[in-house]
Chain A
């Protein structure tokens, strides 16, 4: 069983469309994250949820809206997609938010906006 699974793995869409990426973890973790990795491989946190509550909300356009229906799921909805949104989006989870905070990552969703 995959610990952190996200779907779809690839997403190709037109500018202006709305799309969602889903993430599920079966590790029993309380905290989940969304990261964006750009073409230069830089990984930047976007959001963090702890037990369905938003904890970290970095400077992300409000076209991006995370939703956590339960602590095992954290989905990312993106409205009015722009060319600059093209990137690989990673979901991750961790047991908590402590000083060590080991995170387990999904395999990523490669989003291409045309």
Chain B
């Protein structure tokens, strides 16, 4: 049973347009959400995060929106650039097990930005 879902395995966007990557979660105990970016044959790198006490966090071209009532978050990239082409993992964290802030990763969305 996937607690963090990314229902779009892939997404293609024209350079300069907005990319919107979606993520849904099922466990209301999650209180911190992260996005990681991964290039082929490399480890994921942290991109941006948001705490459950906020509904928006912005960092340059990247903005994450959180809708707690819908258990949904989205990552907006604007404008999209070819270098943004990568797999994006949504991750959720919270005291869902013992004393460890377990981080649960979604399956990822592969973004292709077309020049």
Are A and B bound to each other?
no
